[in-house]
A = this chain, B = another copy of it.
Amino acid sequence: MHGEIIAIGDELVSGKTVNTTSSFAARKLFDSGYSIRRITVVGDDIPLIEDCLHKAIERARFLIITGGLGPTADDITNEAVARALSLPLRENQQILKKISECEQHHGISYDETFRRKLSMLPEGAEVLNPEGHAAGYMLMHAGIPLFFLPGVPNQLEDHVVKQVIPRLREILGAGKSVIQKTFKIFGLSEIEVNARLSMIESRYQGLSIGYYPNFPEVHVTVTLKGESSEETRNACSDACRAIKHALGLYVIAEDNDTLESVTGRLLVERGAMVSVAESCTGGLLGQRLTDVSGSSAWFDRGVTTYTNRAKEEMLGVPHELIEKHGAVSAEVAVRMAEGIRRLSGSAYALSITGIAGPTGGTDRKPVGTVFIALSTPEKTKALRFFFPGGRDKVRTTAAETALDWLRRNLTDGSYIPGYKPS
């Protein structure tokens, strides 16, 4: 059931655009039991595309070709396919109709080049979604389905889910059954996670454990592929239990959950809300908490007090305290958290103040120094951290650490974050 992806576009081989679409397609296919063996990325170059098509057709059971279907001069996929497979290009009535509808809708008129570019498809092409806007199509060639999909992410995603996978089921039959479980870990490095799990991997045969750094987290995937007997399913559950045991509270979320969705659920369970006071993260912590739909049930408010005056005026941090300890200090972090907790009346509050860099560091407080405070109905505690990396990484790790600290506190009442304080 192995397929291949060919992604076409100068923007991909020149590194201008990251190839997220191939990853999306590969993941959706994998989850449905069809896997991708090879992804080839080439520029807008007809002979090169021809070569890739020929070779892939010899190897794969199905092919997905993305990009180069648009109306601009560099869109040459149709021409390359026609040449590679010796097929004439024919005007497609469904696409012409869509173009007219689009013209009417927007009150514009496309020129003939544009119209021809979009509507001339290789003979035998079946438009995948005649109702939709993007003209992905399927061609059967030597018994192999070739799917030509638009390169624009949301159009491609829609085609993969609604068109490609259902058709693969019809043509190739159901994919192999796959049991897959993902654990998201924060606070341990990839090597540390690996060290804790290496014994488990060897204990269960037929299971594969993958380690994927996903900054600032490490994701661990347990995969069981093939005929799933009750025995193998039990082995998988056993292995997952063993992994959770080995990693304990370092597991921040499983599968589609995230640190913020898990934290939100813990807050809802105890009917509590959280508010945040940020400085160097500039709103990132609030943004993450509100990434989750329904977050109004647990997130009350946030302030980003970037200047000292804002810290004093909005959160009541005493001027003298900032003078004495500096804005980046445990004392100020505590007052920020307590300030927003008092203002909001939330049960929980988090604050972050630090030096994200690249400027602003000193010998005693180098770039990467961040103080985080957690204020709960019991007490307020601030810790000093040192996060390595550039501005982005410092901010990302700071927000993650703050969220993780709250999650741990809501789980076992402790005041120990996953990332070790410095």
| A positions within 8 Å CB-CB of B | 10-20, 22-30, 35-43, 45, 48, 52, 70-74, 152-154, 190-191, 194, 201, 208, 210-215, 219, 221, 278, 280-287, 289-291, 293-296, 299-307, 309-310, 313-314, 343-344, 356-359, 389, 391-392
Contact = CB atoms under 8 A, between A and B. Distances in A.
A388 to B, nearest CB: 10
A16 B278 CA distance: 32
A343 B301 CA distance: 16
A13 B40 contact: no
Given A40-B38, A287-B281, A210 B19 contact: no
B15 A23 contact: yes
A301 B306 contact: yes
A405 B38 CA distance: 44
B41 A14 contact: no
A358 B292 CA distance: 10
A304 B282 contact: no
A289 B300 contact: no
Given A35-B14, A291-B282, A306 B296 contact: yes
Contact of A210 (B39, B74, B289, B293): B74
A287 B290 contact: no
Contacts of A74: 208, 210
A19, A70, A291: which has the most chain B beta carbons within 10 Å?
Answer: A19
Contacts of A40: 38-41
A72 B194 contact: yes
19 contacts: A12-B26, A14-B30, A14-B35, A14-B36, A38-B40, A70-B190, A71-B191, A71-B194, A73-B201, A153-B215, A154-B389, A278-B286, A281-B287, A282-B287, A283-B285, A283-B302, A301-B310, A301-B314, A314-B314
B295 A283 contact: no
Contact of A295 (B25, B215, B282, B357): B282
Nearest to A4: B13
Contact of A344 (B17, B191, B213, B310): B310
A299 to B, nearest CB: 5
B27 A39 contact: no
Contacts of A221: 11, 16
A203 to B, nearest CB: 14
Nearest to A344: B310
